[in-house]
Amino acid sequence: MMIEVKELYKSFGELHVLKGIDCEIKEREVVCVIGPSGSGKSTFLRCLNRLEEISSGKVVISGYDVSDPKTDINRMRAEVGMVFQRFNLFPHMTVIENIMLAPMKIRGEARDAAFQKGMELLRKVGLEDKADVYPDNLSGGQMQRVAIARALAMNPKVMLFDEPTSALDPELVGEVLEVMKNLANEGMTMVVVTHEMGFAREVGDRIIFMDRGVIMEEGEPEHIFSNPQNERTKEFLRKVL
């Protein structure tokens, strides 16, 4: 099991955002999380790598018990890659420098090795010709592909994506989804919060429909998209499909 979540609750003061989430995600599984805005999808993802402190329950990811205060969070984070909606590349560093930074600083990798690995990752995301360019000179789609390469530079065991394409112009969405699809095909364990239903259906092994802080329904894409059981799932899909 790559991720185990038991009875996860998360509140911000009086606001109860996650109300008892249970879920298990296996190695190499691609799980797409869908649901209305405000249902707690981002909060759920952020609880997985303790970007948010959980209120109660248990979260184990890549063997690290996130709910245990004694857990070395930095070691855990080195194994859990995350890509956000808005590309958070360092603007004062070139593309390759952005990618080499964490492996050198956190892993202590030698410059040469980090560079070789970085170039290999840029090839993988189709951007080797952009190595020496500053982020300002990239399109949103290219920035997001660099963000994925940068996360992969740490050799993560699992990748978390929070709406990686929703800030992009429509014509740039495809190139990012393509990179994610390749990653899935290579066997990366992935949790993807997305509004791209086509991607979820094609690439997801499992779909989780979240609503108002709970998992309302989950199952194989075929089941969720063609034969949803829950009224809320049906209503949501009617709006987005």
Can residue 37 be called a binding residue for ligand ADP (CB under 6 A)? Answer: yes
CA dihedral 28, 31, 147, 194 (to 10 degrees): 160
Least spacing, CB of residue 114 vs Mg ion, in Å: 32
Least spacing, CB of residue 46 vs ligand ADP, in Å: 8
Beta partners for residue 81, in sequence order = 159
Axis-axis angle for helices 95-105, 111-124 (nearest 10): 130
Q: Which residues, including other chains, have CB under 8 Å from residue 229's CB and lie 6 or more apart?
A: 217
Least spacing, CB of residue 118 vs Mg ion, in Å: 29
* Candidates 41-49, 55-63, 127-135, 220-228; binding stretch for ligand ADP (CB under 6 A): 41-49
Can residue 40 be called a binding residue for ligand ADP (CB under 6 A)? Answer: yes
Can residue 17 be called a binding residue for ligand ADP (CB under 6 A)? Answer: yes
What stretch of H or E contains 8?
strand 3-12
Among Mg ion, ligand ADP, none, the one that 165 touches (CB under a kind-dependent 5 to 8 A) is none
- Residue 35 vs 228, nearer CB to ligand ADP: 35
Least spacing, CB of residue 21 vs Mg ion, in Å: 15
**CB hemisphere CA count around 189 (13 angstroms):** 17
Axis-axis angle for helices 140-152, 95-105 (nearest 10): 20
- Residue 40 vs 81, nearer CB to Mg ion: 40
- Residue 41 vs 150, nearer CB to Mg ion: 41
Least spacing, CB of residue 41 vs Mg ion, in Å: 5
- Residue 98 vs 233, nearer CB to ligand ADP: 233
Q: Is-contact 195 34, C-beta < 8 A? A: yes
Can residue 41 be called a binding residue for ligand ADP (CB under 6 A)? Answer: yes
Q: CA separation (Å) from 161 to 12, 45, 68, 193?
A: 22, 8, 24, 6
**By the criterion CB under 6 A, which residues form the site for ligand ADP?**
12, 15, 17, 35, 37-43
